[in-house]
Amino acid sequence: MKSTYTKLFQRILYSTIWSEDDKTRIVWITMLAMADSEGNIASSIPGLSRAANVDMESVQNAIAKFLAPDEYSGTKDHEGRRVEEIEGGWRLLNHAKYRNLMSLEHRRDYNRLKQQEYRIRVRSIDKEKTLKQVVREKAKAEDFSSNEG
């Protein structure tokens, strides 16, 4: 089995999914965790039921909600539908959109970290320059005083 990673965005807490019953939310989170890099979920209703530890009737009800339009969905693509049926399972319809958001966030985090490292390096170089400058000035002062004496 290929290992995958799905980032869970905070905005899920404000989505219409979060106002659904517990079992529907569990099935949704399970589907997110099961999705491959293309947003495909290879499973059957019984397999999803076992993975989510939710009874089959609740899984069927959840899938029906995910397949149906959601007029209150924050994402109007696909009329708010969350999944479509594919052979051997389902596809998360907005998977690519969220994958791209994740990439954007990772780039921002990476750039922030690199900028922080750069600033630390510059401060270190500035301190080193200052120390060298103090040593030079002290040496000049000693040379000047020894030449006067």
Q: What is the pLDDT of residues 86-122, one digit of tens each?
A: 999 999 998 877 766 666 666 777 677 778 887 777 7
In a domain, 149, yes or no: no
Question: What whole-number distance in Å separates Cα of residue 54 and Cα of residue 50?
Answer: 7
In a domain, 129, yes or no: no
pLDDT of residue 58: 98
In a domain, 127, yes or no: no
More confident position, 127 or 17: 17
Is the model's pLDDT at 56 over the cut of 90? yes
Give this prediction's pTM: 0.65
Residue 31: band (very low, low, confident or very high) from pLDDT cuts 50, 70, 90: very high
pLDDT of residue 130: 73
Count how many domains the chain has: 1
Which residue type, as a one-letter code, is found at position 111? Answer: N
Helix axes 45-52, 22-34, angle to 10 degrees: 100
| CATH code for the domain of 89 | 1.10.10.10
Question: Domain limits at 65?
Answer: 10-93
Q: What are phi and psi of 97, to 5 degrees?
A: -60, -45
**Helix (H) / strand (E) containing 65:** helix 56-67
Q: Which two tokens stand for residue 108?
A: 């921002």
